[in-house]
Amino acid sequence: MAGLDPAIHVLLRMQGVRRGCRHKAGHDRVLEPMSAILTLEKISKRFGAIVVADDIDLTLLRGEALGIIGPNGAGKTTLFGIVTGTVPPDGGRVVFKGHDITRMKPEHRCRMGLARSFQIPQPFDGMTVFENLVVAAAFGGGRSERDVYAGCAGLLERCGLADKANRRAGSLTLLDRKRLELARALATGPRVLLLDEVAGGLVEHETAALVDLINDVRATGVTIVWIEHVVHALIAVVDRLVVLHGGALIAEGEPAEVLRRPQVNEIYMGIEERRMGADA
């Protein structure tokens, strides 16, 4: 702990205490520019012969919204797994808020402020929608159960689940399960929110409501990384876009500009057109 830049030290401690996270001794504290909140350094991962992460370097700035697109099997979801700790990388480092978290357990990363919504929702089926949120808020947020009730009730309303508060999560439709997935990630009080295809299957006005919600979240200072095939929703939120293909970042930059690149069009836009055709 000693010997650090005092400002960073104080900041990290404040966040740690407020969020109730316990920084493990022995984790390397790495100094980095104040603006970076999450850094991937030379992340590699393969499943057998398939390379899903090929020396990926990516830096996420505090408060930004980053979009990730790429064809199926490009390694997008695996990248989220590596960041949140459910998939161990073969090589490289993950640095979050100045800590090397490469070997940290998912639950500790969550308590540090790293929340994720799964592409396939992972609700607690036997618990009510409200109880699902209470779990996320009490444990992910490191707070006592009673303290989170009000926040969870409010979050239900924001996510359009207020009238289903006491329904068992297992009885929800897919759309509501997706809403719950997002609500649970928000309930943990994240600093960085990782969204995995939350807009898939939504109709137009639902997508618009989702975009509003994510923009609201972002306005509170939460950094966002969003994997999405519904590109028009994505570019309504993000200010930077990366394209993942075969485990490698093949393009990065301002969204509209990235989407205009011929290489990106070639490997990606076919999928988008097909999706839009299927939605219509």
Partner 1 sequence: MSDFRVQHASWSSRIGTTIVVLAFVAFAAAPWWADRANLRLLSEIFAYVALASLWNLLAGYAGLVSVGQQAYVGLGAYVLFGLAMLAGVHPLAAIPLAGIAAAIVALPVAALIFRLRGHYFAIGTWVVAEVFRLLAAQTTALDGGSGTSLPAAVVVSIASSRQMREFTIYWIALAQVAVVLFAIVWLLRSRYGLALTAIRDNELGARSNGVDVARIKYCVYVAVAFGTAMVGALIFLQKIRISPDTAFSVNDWTAFVIFITVIGGIGRIEGPIIGTVIFFLLRQTLADLGAIYLLILGVVAIAVMLKAPKGLWGLIADRYGWQVFPLERRLVINKR
Q: Which is nearer to partner 1, 135 or 267 (CB)?
A: 135
Distance in angstroms (rounded) separating the CA atoms of residues 263 and 227:
19
Asked if 3 touches partner 1 (CB under 8 A), the answer is no
Whether 58 contacts 242, CB under 8 Å: yes
When asked if residue 125 is in the footprint of partner 1 (CB under 8 A), the reply is yes
Question: Do 115 and 186 meet the contact criterion of CB atoms below 8 Å apart?
Answer: yes
- Give me the residue label for tokens 């104080």: 10
State the Cα–Cα distance between residues 42 and 268, nearest whole angstrom. Answer: 24
- In the bound state with partner 1, the residue whose beta carbon lies nearer, of 179 and 245, is 179
32 touches 126 (CB < 8 A) = no
Do the beta carbons of residue 246 and residue 54 sit within 8 Å?
A: yes
Q: Which of 8, 165, 236, 267 is the binder for partner 1 (CB under 8 A)?
A: 165
Nearer to partner 1, 57 or 107 (CB): 107
Provide the mask over 166-205, with x wherever binding to partner 1 is found by CB under 8 A and - wherever it is not: x--x--------------x--xx-----------------
> According to CB under 8 A, which one of 8, 127, 248, 267 is a site residue for partner 1?
127
Alpha-carbon distances, residue 81 vs 43, 106, 146, 225 (angstroms): 12, 9, 31, 13
Does residue number 131 form part of the binding site for partner 1 (CB under 8 A)? yes
Answer for which of 15, 44, 59, 86 binds partner 1 (CB under 8 A) is 86
Contact 9, 98 (CB under 8 A): no
Nearer to partner 1, 142 or 255 (CB): 142
> Facing residues of 69 across strands?
243
What is the rounded CA–CA span in Å between residue 129 and residue 162? 9
Q: Are 180 and 169 in contact (CB under 8 A)?
A: yes
From the CB of 271, what's the least distance to partner 1, in Å? 27
Number of residues interacting with partner 1: please give it, by CB under 8 A. 45
Smallest gap from Cβ 228 to partner 1, in A, equals 19
CA end-to-end span of the chain, whole Å?
56
Binding mask 137-156 for partner 1 (x = CB under 8 A): -xxxxx-xx---xx-xxx-x
- Of the two residues 54 and 139, which places its CB atom closer to partner 1 in the complex? 139
Residue with the two structure tokens 């401690």: 13
Positions that interact with partner 1 (CB under 8 A): 84, 86, 105-108, 110-111, 115-116, 118, 122-128, 130-132, 134-136, 138-142, 144-145, 149-150, 152-154, 156-157, 162, 165-166, 169, 184, 187-188
